[in-house]
């Protein structure tokens, strides 16, 4: 699946409101069809760090969360170019 084909609104609709950060990371990653390594690469973090976030054993830094949100926003612009 191409990143430009991802509709983030539909992804968000599939993420339950009560989901914790670890569950959200895994859900978003799997819905995007990415491996943990690819998601870590997108976030520019070591895969072991990303795995710890997804397993819920460590919380990401504010910078890492900001990177995740920036990637999400960038994907939204690619998916909806008229809204830029």
CATH topology of domain 3-79: 434 Repressor (Amino-terminal Domain) (1.10.260)
Q: Provide the 3-class DSSP secondary structure of residue 60.
A: coil
pLDDT digits (tens, 9 = 90+) for 19-35: 687 887 887 788 788 99
Q: Which residues contact 60 (CB under 8 A, 6 or more apart)?
A: 21, 49, 53, 68
pTM (predicted TM-score): 0.62
Cα angle: 66, vertex 67, 71; to 5 degrees: 115
Domain segments of the chain as ranges: 3-79
pLDDT digits (tens, 9 = 90+) for 39-75: 999 888 899 999 999 999 998 888 888 887 776 676 6
């Amino acid at each position: 699946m191409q990143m430009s084909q991802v509709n983030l609104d539909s992804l968000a609709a599939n993420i339950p409101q009560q989901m914790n950060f670890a569950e959200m990371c895994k859900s978003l990653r799997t819905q995007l069809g990415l491996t943990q390594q690819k998601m870590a690469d997108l976030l520019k973090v070591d895969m072991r760090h990303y795995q710890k976030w997804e397993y819920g054993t460590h919380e990401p830094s504010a910078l890492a969360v900001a990177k995740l949100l920036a990637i999400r926003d960038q994907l939204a612009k690619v998916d909806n170019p008229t809204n830029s």
